[in-house]
């Protein structure tokens, strides 16, 4: 397998140096809500080969559009480097309504895909 993911719920920074030698290449999730993890800091510490899923603070989904857009824009430079897929850092919380999800998807595409969906 060219890449393997480890589910690293919680604060797991102490384990990251051991994963590449064990065959794991991708870290999921990087929890920003509870642990305040920062993908740029992790890459500075562990190298640009650290591949990442997560980092979208799920709590921003039910906040204002401006707060969500600001949060996603803060991730854009790290996403643009590659090896990073921004997804919610766990399940969508029950506070996020069904009606907020299309807004989340639209804003996500505005930030990461120049507004293009698909």
pLDDT tens digits, residue range 35-54?
Answer: 778 888 888 988 888 888 88
pLDDT classification of 12: cutoffs 50, 70, 90: confident
Q: Is the peptide bond before 95 cis (omega within 30 degrees of 0)?
A: no
Judged against a pLDDT cut of 90, whether residue 27 lies above it is answered with no
pLDDT digits (tens, 9 = 90+) for 91-102: 888 999 999 999
- Average model confidence (pLDDT) for the chain? 86
pTM of the model as a whole: 0.84
First and final C-alpha spacing in the chain: 27
| Secondary structure class of 8 (helix, strand, coil) | coil
pLDDT classification of 115: cutoffs 50, 70, 90: low
């Amino acid at each position: 397998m060219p890449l393997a993911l480890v589910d690293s719920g919680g604060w797991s920074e102490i384990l990251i140096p051991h994963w590449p030698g064990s065959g794991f290449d991708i870290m999921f999730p990087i929890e920003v809500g509870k642990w305040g993890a920062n993908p740029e800091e992790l890459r500075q510490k562990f190298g640009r080969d650290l591949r990442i899923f997560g980092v979208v603070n799920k709590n921003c989904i039910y906040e204002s559009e401006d707060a969500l857009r600001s949060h996603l824009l803060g991730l854009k430079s790290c996403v643009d480097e590659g090896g990073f897929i921004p997804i919610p850092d766990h399940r969508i919380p029950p506070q996020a309504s069904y009606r907020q999800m299309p807004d989340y998807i639209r804003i996500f595409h505005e930030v990461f895909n120049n507004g293009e969906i698909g």
